[in-house]
Structures are given as C-alpha cells and as structure tokens.
Amino acid sequence: MFFSSTLRSAVSNAARHVRSLHQTSARAGAGGLFVHRDTPANNPETPFEFTPENMKRVDAIINNYPEGHKAAATIPVLDLAQRQHGWLPISAMNKVAEILGVAPMRVYEVATFYTMFLRQPVGKYHIQICTTTPCMLCDSDSILEAIQNKLGIKVGETTADQLFTLTEVECLGACVNAPMVQINDNYYEDLKPSDIEQIINELKADRVPPPGPRSGRFSCEPAGGLTSLTEPPPGPGFGVRPDL
Amino acid sequence: DLLCGTQETPKKTKFGPLADQDRIFTNLYGRHDWRLKGALRRGDWYKTKEILDKGVDWILNEIKVSGLRGRGGAGFPTGMKWSFMNKPSDGRPKYLVVNADEGEPGTCKDREIMRHDPHKLIEGCLVAGRAMGARAAYIYIRGEFYNESSNLQVAINEAYAAGLIGRNACGSGYDFDVFVMRGAGAYICGEETALIESIEGKQGKPRLKPPFPADVGVFGCPTTVANVETVAVAPTICRRGGTWFLSFGRERNSGTKLFNISGHVNNPCTVEEEMSIPLKELIERHAGGVRGGWDNLLCVIPGGSSTPLIPRHVCDTVLMDFDALIQAQTGLGTAALIVMDKSTDVIRAIARLIEFYKHESCGQCTPCREGVDWMNKMMWRFVKGDAQSAEIDMIWEISKQIEGHTICALGDGAAWPVQGLIRHFRPLMENRIADFKQKQQARA
C-alpha cells in the first residue's frame, strides 16, 4: 500500500513535470493553463509600475467611458500594461485592478478570457500564424513548416535567443490575402515559404519589414488587375438627391 | 415611385455587374488618400448638416425605403432595427455600438472600410446616431487590427478637429462623440451582447435576450449594435436616396454588398457588387475564376464559415442574396465566399472550422461548450476515417441538439457547417470510413 501510494504520487509528479515541458511560453498564455502558480519571475511582488507617460494614457482611456464605469477600461489598460512590460505578470493585473477600483479577480477573468493577453513571456517577435480553413486552403501548412524549419522551434515555443515565439492562432481576418502571419502588430500577407524566410532574416538583422501583401499587390484588389473601381472616383455632390 | 410602380415597370431580372458610379466604397483598394482631404474629395461629409437637419423620421424612412438589411451576417432589416430606439428617453443616454470585431473565417471586408475609407464609417456613425438619438458611438474593433484601428483613430481626430463630430457636430446643434475600443482576441465578442459585455470590461460572454440591447444595452442604456458596413453605407443612402439603393438587387434583398472571395480562386479579392448577382458570374468576373476552371469546383461556402457549404450543381445557378441562399439551405451571412476545388479534403476543411468554433466558444452554456468539443473530436476522426458509419448520424443529431439550444448563435454557427458537409458529402465520408476499415483489416 505504501509502495503503491508513493508510486502513484511519483507518477503524478512526473506527469506534472512532463506537462510543464509541453506547456511552453505562449501556448500557456493563450488558451493554456488558466491557474496561476507563483514563480520567481511571476508573482505578486514582480515589479510593475506604469510610466508617467502611460499613466496619462490610462487617464485618457478612462475618460472614454461614462462616470462610474471605470471597469470598462479593463481591456485597454491591460493592453497598455502588456505593451509596456512585454507580457502580463500577475502584479500588473493587480496594479490594473487597483487603478480601476475593481476586485483583482475581475481583472484575472478578463486576462484569462482574451487570447491576446500573454501571461507568460514571449520573444521579441511574436509570430502568430493563422491556420483556419481559408488560410489552410491556401497552404498555410507550408508556411508553418517553413517557419518551424527556419527557426528550429515548434508551435508554442520560443527560440533560445528569446527573439522569436511561434503560436498558431485562429482567423485573423485577412482571408483574401491568405496565407498570412501576424508578427507583433503587423500583418504579412500573400506569403510563400520563401517570403516568410526573408521576413525572418530581416527581423534577425533587426529591421522590421513593411507589413502587407508580399505578392506585389497593394491590399485586397484582384492580383490579375482591377475589375472594379477602374475610373477615378466621382467628386462630392455626385448623384445627390436634389431635395437636400 | 419605385415601390408603387412595380406593376407597370418590369421587374429586374439581370443583376450585376455594378457600374463604378454606383459603388459606395470608392477607396476600397486604398489607391486614394484615406484622410479627411481625400475623403472630402470623394464626396464624404457632403451636406451632412442637411441630412441631420432633416430629422430622425426622415433618416429612418430613407433607410427603411432602401431595404438595407444588416451586413453583419444576420440580415435583419436595418430600418426596423434602428427604429426600435426611437422611443422617448427615460433619462438614460442612448448609444450606438459599431461591431468591427470581424472574426468570421472568410470575412475581411470591414478591415478595408476602416483602413481605406474610415470617414465613411465616422459619418455613418453620426447619421445613424442621430437617427437613434444616440449620445455617442463606440467602435469596437478587434485587437489584431492594430494598424486599421490606428487609421481609424487618426480619422476620428481629424473629424473632431474639423468640427464634424463632437460638440455641435457639423453645425447641426447635435452633440456626438465617437470612441474606438480595441478588443483583445475573442471571436465571440462579435456577438452583440458579448460585445456589450466586453465594452463594459467583462469577459465576452453573451447575455440572454430578452432584454434586448435596445432596452438594456451597454452600461444599462438603450443600445443598437450595428455592423461596420451597415453603418458606413447609411450616409450615402441618405444622400443618393433610399430608392437608388433599392434599385439594386431583388425585392427584399436590395443594395450593394462587399464580397470577399478567398480560397481556390485565381485572384482572391474583395469587391463591391450588386446583391443577387449570380455566384458563378461573381467568381468568374472578379476573382479570375476557379483554379483549374469552373469544372474543377468542388463546393463553396457562400457566407463565411457559419453558413453550410453548397455543392457544384447548386453553385452553377444560385444568386448571391439572402433569400436565394436560404432556399439553397445555406445563407448569405457576411458574403465571404470560401471556394474549394477538387483538390480539397473537404472533411479536413470542415473539421478545422469546428476546431475554430471549439477554441472560440465562451464556455457559458453546455450544448456549445461540450457539444462543439465533442463534434470537433468526432470530425478529426472522420478526417482519418477512424469512425463507424452510424457516427455520421450521431454527429448530425449532436449538431441538431446544439442548434437553437444555446444562448447565442455560435452554437448554430458550429452546427451548420457539419450539417452542410453531411447533407452534400455523406458518400465521401462513408468511403473514407470504409477505406480506413479496409486498411486496418489489411494490417491485421
């Protein structure tokens, strides 16, 4: 009996360790483990303060909402905290709760619900690849493979130099420019595997390539040439009813 | 008047292509200046004061006459929806909320409006807000659209600086504010009550309706949630007349629409076309046709991922509007076409969609939280063929138990693709199951 209970606890401990090997950074942040466990890098004492410039932004955000509804600013202010710090330690969430006068649990609820809030550190360049059906039909698999081969990491992992984190995300809303990825705030669209390799090279050299389609077109027009809006747009007053 | 003249004037039978002069979104492809100067040159903010001065009833009547139906997927008559707010104030301010949380797979039309033609949206907010007696508009834009929201905020600042919104908007004596709120990555926040919850700073979990947002909405005040495209076409309808808008498309399906054509076409693109245009003409004229020719077409998802797919023989003749697609047992939704050719593993495509819905479910109600996860697990086994034939009927039954029994329409949106797949591709699923069984037996 003694044996089997130690065996059981040893197995479950090992399982927990194995699970923690798989729960790599960004995977755990977005849709992964929802329970917070204090670690030396992420606990209520982790230093976090808004810079004075960002505090001004916080006040501007709060002013967007009616009196008595400061809680409405939770999402924008958490986003600001994440932009300042790179990710969201629990102390940042506590700080936001303090500023907005809400219970910390309300902020934890919001931070765990939305996928863009990262509760574990990410690399300098967060590569988010869309693999939902419209992108999958346009061969996002080959782009994912190209990224994995180029960087040597799998989905959810960060490169050893802390430069790149790769995550798989749901539809990013650029389906006519499939396949595409989002790196930090920019969309890189109309990709071929050689394009994404080029983009990663640029980022390694510390140059951020301009966002947008890589195939030569400007945005969402048909690549074979304009089939609509071929004439210059009409000016003000065109077609306006006479009784205005 | 076109409405009383339908007996004398022959009904229109040919729809599309649209002439450039009838297009509303003249800077769809971003070739011209999107800022205030460029917008003014293209006719935005022209006689807005006069429109506002005409008053609430006039604006609502124009929208009703135009036959505009919601462009966010549900297709509810807009004139009727906006008039729900037309009741005397009980002390609470009214709000307009613009749903720019474009997350439906296949859909990418609102992004073009917001980054290339933001002033249409801002003017639309003002006109729609005036029609509802709203105090302010909140534009809820998805968090991933950082650059688009940046363009929108710049345009809003320009509009404030020029006195077009804010105190005494356009000199009409009406005060109106416009705020941008960025989301943080949740498809479910595109549902109107979840969006309201998100603006209030909570988790984006939908509310039960009733009470409807027109009674209790954001911050407890009467609210109307409208899609970007619906709001952005409102000023042009008021300027050029509801009857002009009504002249496009079939009866009860009027106007122009932004179509997104993605997937296995030669030139995927976004294009503004007339409603009721035949699907075949839309794909061939604007997207360069299906890859490998029309005969290489397998099926099309016509209105974003929540609408059931339609097979080749239906695609040959169906028109792109609300009623025709409902008759084909699908829906227009957001008019986001996902085209699949014969090289597609359609079971895998639908399985990936169900995985999308599983990730995006908010988890509130059991049929969606448990049922969609269950369907997802089954669908990935169907991709391999590792299933029994009777499980096809089982997944149909599960989808029927989810559909209509959830708090919001995400459950329906997850159930319909599965139903579309089984309705049209059951033999393919059965074959795959038989092949897998054969391989297993061969190995054993």
Note which residues in 165-204 of chain A have CB less than 8 A from chain B. Answer: 169-178, 182, 185-187
A2 touches chain B (CB under 8 A): no
B308 neighbors B425 (Cβ within 8 angstroms): no
B435 touches chain A (CB under 8 A): no
Say whether B106 and A131 touch across the interface (CB within 8 A).
no
B313 touches chain A (CB under 8 A): no
Question: Residues B14-30: what's their mean pLDDT?
Answer: 92
- Total length of chain B: 444
Q: Look at residue A15 in the predicted model and tell me its pLDDT.
A: 45
Q: pLDDT band at B14, cuts 50/70/90?
A: confident
Size of interface A-B (CB pairs under 8 A): 244
Q: Taking CB atoms and an 8 Å cutoff, what residues of chain A touch B144?
A: 116, 172-173, 182
- Among B125, B148, B110, B142, which residue's Cα sits nearest to residue B28? B110
pLDDT tens digit at each of 244 positions of chain A: 555 555 555 544 544 444 444 333 333 334 566 789 999 999 999 999 999 999 999 999 999 999 999 999 999 999 999 999 999 999 999 999 999 999 999 999 999 999 999 999 999 999 999 999 999 999 999 999 999 999 999 999 999 999 999 999 999 999 999 999 999 999 999 999 999 999 999 999 999 999 999 999 999 999 999 999 999 999 999 999 998 8
ipTM of the complex in this document = 0.92
Note which residues in 72-131 of chain A have CB less than 8 A from chain B. Answer: 72-76, 78-79, 100, 102, 106, 109-110, 113-117, 131
> Which of A136, A171, A233 shows the shortest C-beta gap to B32?
A233
Residue B44 CA to residue B168 CA, distance in Å, equals 18
Q: What pTM was computed for the model?
A: 0.92
B26 touches chain A (CB under 8 A): yes
Q: Look at residue B115 in the predicted model and tell me its pLDDT.
A: 95
Q: Taking CB atoms and an 8 Å cutoff, what residues of chain A touch B116?
A: 219
pLDDT in tens, A156-167: 999 999 999 999
B120 touches chain A (CB under 8 A): no
Say whether B184 and A114 touch across the interface (CB within 8 A).
yes
B369 touches chain A (CB under 8 A): no
Q: How far is CA B367 from CA A202, A221, B354, in A?
A: 47, 40, 14
Q: How many angstroms separate the CA of residue B28 from the nearest CA in chain A?
A: 8
Q: pLDDT band at B84, cuts 50/70/90?
A: very high
> Which of B23, B108, B273 shows the shortest C-beta gap to A173?
B108
> Which of A115, A220, A235 shows the shortest C-beta gap to B270?
A220
pLDDT in tens, B356-368: 999 999 999 999 9
Q: pLDDT band at B48, cuts 50/70/90?
A: very high
* Residue at B235: amino acid letter: P
A138 annotated ligand binder: no
- Among B170, B98, B167, which residue's Cα sits nearest to residue B132? B98
Q: Taking CB atoms and an 8 Å cutoff, what residues of chain A touch B260?
A: 175-176, 220
B261 touches chain A (CB under 8 A): yes
Q: How many angstroms separate the CA of residue B441 from the nearest CA in chain A?
A: 31
Q: What is the four-CA torsion angle of B323, B325, B327, B329, rounded to 10 degrees?
A: -140
pLDDT in tens, A115-129: 999 999 999 999 999
Q: Taking CB atoms and an 8 Å cutoff, what residues of chain B touch A183?
A: none
A44 touches chain B (CB under 8 A): no
Tokens 């949630």 belong to B225
> Which of B240, B344, B360 shows the shortest C-beta gap to A137?
B344
Q: How far is CA B147 from CA A211, A232, B150, B154, in A?
A: 10, 26, 5, 11
Per the structure block, which two tokens stand in for B124?
């639309």
For chain B, the straight-line distance linking the first and the last C-alpha, in angstroms and rounded, comes to 76
Nearest CA in chain B to A105: B202
* Cβ neighbour number for residue B203 with a 10 Å cutoff: 20
B211 neighbors B203 (Cβ within 8 angstroms): no
Note which residues in 50-89 of chain B have CB less than 8 A from chain A. Answer: 50-51, 54
- The backbone region for B366, taken as left when phi is positive above 0, alpha when psi lies in -120 to 50, beta otherwise, is alpha
How does DSSP assign B53-71, residue by residue?
A: HH-HHHHHHHHHHHT-B-T
**Strand duo B253-254 + B249-250: pairing:** antiparallel
Say whether B29 and A229 touch across the interface (CB within 8 A).
yes
